Amino acid sequence: MAESLGRVLVVDDDEVIRQLIAVNLQLEGFEVHTAVDGWDCLERVGEVAPDVITLDVMMPRLDGWETAVRLRGDPRTARIGVVMITARAQERDVDRGVGIGVDAYVTKPFDPAELIRTVRALALRAAGAGGV
């Protein structure tokens, strides 16, 4: 098997969207792991060691905003690329993400090609930095 383009943790509470994102990234050559919400993400991030995390904003238990805050606040996960996938991309939401340290936004409904380009760019950045 060819070497992976990078490891991605896809976090979304909607199974259909989670699988759609995962399949698109797998077809592109990424190693993909999934989580069902922010808590699941935080529990899995250590074992998965992703280069990039895609985070839905609106999730039960722990939303994408708080998940991103916790990822950025932990030195072990602070440098992982974070892509918010959201229907909420108003300027105040983008500003909030910038304040947290989110790397990119992809708006739902998303273009799979745009998502792949965004994830690839962040995975390449991680590879250039010697990984996370």
pLDDT tens digit string along 74-115? Answer: 999 999 999 998 886 678 888 888 899 999 998 888 899 999
Q: How many CB atoms are closer than 10 A to CB 5? A: 19
Report d(CA 95, CA 38) in Å as an integer: 20
pTM to 2 decimal places: 0.92
Q: Where are the alpha helices (DSSP H) in 3-129?
A: 15-28, 38-48, 64-73, 91-100, 112-128
Report d(CA 100, CA 5) in Å as an integer: 26
**Where exactly are the structural domains of the chain?**
7-124
Give the pLDDT score at 93: 81
Report d(CA 71, CA 49) in Å as an integer: 12
Element spanning 17, H or E: helix 15-28
At 1, the pLDDT band (50, 70, 90 cuts) reads very low
Give the pLDDT score at 129: 66
Could you tell me the two tokens for 117? Answer: 């380009």
Q: pLDDT > 70: what percent of the chain?
A: 93
**7-124: CATH topology:** Rossmann fold (3.40.50)
3-state secondary structure of 55: strand
